[in-house]
Structure 1
Amino acid sequence: MKKNVLITGTSSGVGFESAILFAKNGFKVYASMRNITKAEPLIEKAKSENLDIEILSLDVTDITSVKAAVNTIIEKDEKIDVLVNNAGAGFAKTTEQATEEEIRWVTEVNYHGVVFCTQAVLPFMRKQKSGQIISVTSVGGLVGQPFNELYCGAKFAVEGYMEALATYVTDAFNIKITNVEPGGISTNFMASAISKTAVDGQFATGEYLPIFERYMAGNQKRASEGKEQVYQTGLEVADVILKVAQSEIPPLRIRTSKWAEDFCQLKTKADPDGAKLVNQLRESFL
């Protein structure tokens, strides 16, 4: 029987590429998205290449929607093998500038959504004594960055949540946990972040503006040089996610490029894949 995988946020970018790549590699793919009116490109791709992809409506911030999607999979397959928590949204704005609504939104999409989806699949993975949960976080889940503090805070939360979960569900129930940590991704992710978070075309105003201008100049310089390979394609990141899903002993955390690895080195050098820390925690607490 085919392994099945539920992937969130598949209307574009990494999620779109992951749905196609997993299907090409023998998985039954449940490709979910909040707005299924955006599913047509994926539906057409699946039809043209005869890929085993089924579209599901799923809003990661709505627990009822999450449970309904997971129950649909269980009703059809009686199991769920892999969850890829991919849905997320960028956010670049100063803490002072952000509204209460925006603070709640960036946390709900990037952190609560991961918890809701994980909570929904855990009972089934626990009963079947197998499963894998892969969360697409970010180098921003390990390293705080200017003007991204609210986004980084949500991604740090995912990293901590998954690290803690891995200390006991892997040994007890054979549920494997991995955080996939990309650097920049050359999809519509940043464009979406800009449209959602900029005010009058700017992320920062007043006394923050000159700092922000230096920040943007540095980003543009790195992107134009190209040699650092800051930005990956969605497919390149999807390829790492697939390799994790195919691994017998997947890492707790993995960066998706040399640039990302170098960027996080001060945080990860002593324990690059997180295995030492998880083992230490198990020995200390369990």
Structure 2
Amino acid sequence: MIKNVLITGTSSGVGLESAILFAKNDYKVYATMRNLAKADILRKRIKEENLNIELLQLDVTKVDTISAAINTIIENDGKIDILFNNAGAGFAKTTEHATEDEIRWVTEVNYHGVVFCTQAVLPFMRKQKFGQIINITSVGGLVGQPFNELYCGAKFAVEGFMEALTTYVSDAFNIKITCLEPGGIVTEFMTSAIDKTKVEGDLASGEYLPIFQKYLAGNQQRANESKEQVYQTGLEVAMVALKVAQSENPPLRMRTSKWAEDFCKLKTQADPDGNKLVQQIKNSFL
């Protein structure tokens, strides 16, 4: 039986590449995005390569659109095999300078959206006694980084949410959960993050300015000198996601590159895939 997969945030980057890659590997793909007007590239690929992809509108910050997309999949297929929580957005700014709207936005997109999408699929996966949830988190979900505290906080929250959830849904309902932790990705995600990383307002003349400028300079240097080592393409990350989807016993967490692995080593060396800790939690509480 063909497995289906719901992927969020497929207008570009990892989501776009994953939709195409999964379809080429015999999955039925429900490619979702907030604005279907941005689906031109995917529509073209679907037509040119006759891909088994259906486009659906889904805004991870709006529960009604999540429910509508899930209901469409259930009506079409009677099941949902894989949820791929890919949608997210970068953000770098001091906590002092972030507005209330920005703080809510970065949390809604990167954390609440994951929770709401997961909440929507769980009843169906529980009833069918199988399912898989794959999440694009970040090395920023394990390691806090300067001027990224709001973004990292949201990604840490996803990691904690998924770690806790897997302790009881994996054995009881055969629902497998994995957090993929990339470093830098050469996609529109990076461009969007850079666009939101601006020296403006009080920051332009305040005490944070020298630190922030050093941070920006370091980012640029890494991009210029170590692009091949630090930054992956969307397709490279999508290939890791496909490997996880095809695994019988996927790990709780996995870095998607050697650079990401090295960057997180102090946090992960005792339990690289997170499975030992999950088993310890199960032994302690269940």
User: How high is the TM-score relative to the length of structure 2?
Assistant: 0.97
Judged with a 3 Å threshold, the aligned counterparts in structure 2 of structure 1 residues 277 and 204 are, in CA distance, closer, same or farther, namely farther
Residue 13 of structure 1: aligned partner: 13
What SS is found at the alignment partner of 2:73? helix
What SS is found at the alignment partner of 2:95? coil
- Note the 1:152-231 alignment, pairs <5 A: 152-198=152-198, 200=200, 205-226=205-226, 229-231=229-231
Matched, 1:264 2:264: yes
Residue 107 of structure 1: aligned partner: 107
Give the Cα separation in 1 of the matches to 2:66 and 2:6. 11
Between Structure 1 and Structure 2, how many residues are aligned?
A: 286
Give the Cα separation in 1 of the matches to 2:227 and 2:91. 26
1:62-119, CA deviations, whole angstroms, 9 ceiling, x for partnerless residues? 1111011000000000000000000000000000000111100000000000000000
What SS is found at the alignment partner of 1:198? coil
Residue 128 of structure 2: aligned partner: 128
Judged with a 3 Å threshold, the aligned counterparts in structure 2 of structure 1 residues 77 and 220 are, in CA distance, closer, same or farther, namely same
Give the Cα separation in 2 of the matches to 1:221 and 1:199. 18
Residue 281 of structure 1: aligned partner: 281
Give the Cα separation in 2 of the matches to 1:38 and 1:227. 27
Residue 34 of structure 2: aligned partner: 34
What SS is found at the alignment partner of 1:11? coil
Residue 22 of structure 2: aligned partner: 22
What SS is found at the alignment partner of 1:180? strand
What SS is found at the alignment partner of 2:154? helix
Judged with a 3 Å threshold, the aligned counterparts in structure 2 of structure 1 residues 240 and 205 are, in CA distance, closer, same or farther, namely farther
Superposition RMSD in Å: 1.4
Match for 1:212: what amino acid?
F
Residue 116 of structure 1: aligned partner: 116
Give how far 1:198 is off.
2.8
Residue 50 of structure 1: aligned partner: 50
Give the Cα separation in 2 of the matches to 1:204 and 1:96. 13
Give the Cα separation in 2 of the matches to 1:202 and 1:134. 39
Judged with a 3 Å threshold, the aligned counterparts in structure 2 of structure 1 residues 33 and 228 are, in CA distance, closer, same or farther, namely closer
What SS is found at the alignment partner of 2:31? strand
Structure 1 residues 15-24 or 202-211, which shifts more? Answer: 202-211
Gaps of 5+ in 1: none
Gaps of 5+ in 2: none
- Alignment check: 8 A CA contact 1:93 1:204 kept: no
Q: Percent identity?
A: 78
Give the Cα separation in 1 of the matches to 2:64 and 2:72. 12
1:250-283, CA deviations, whole angstroms, 9 ceiling, x for partnerless residues? 0000000000000000000000000000000000
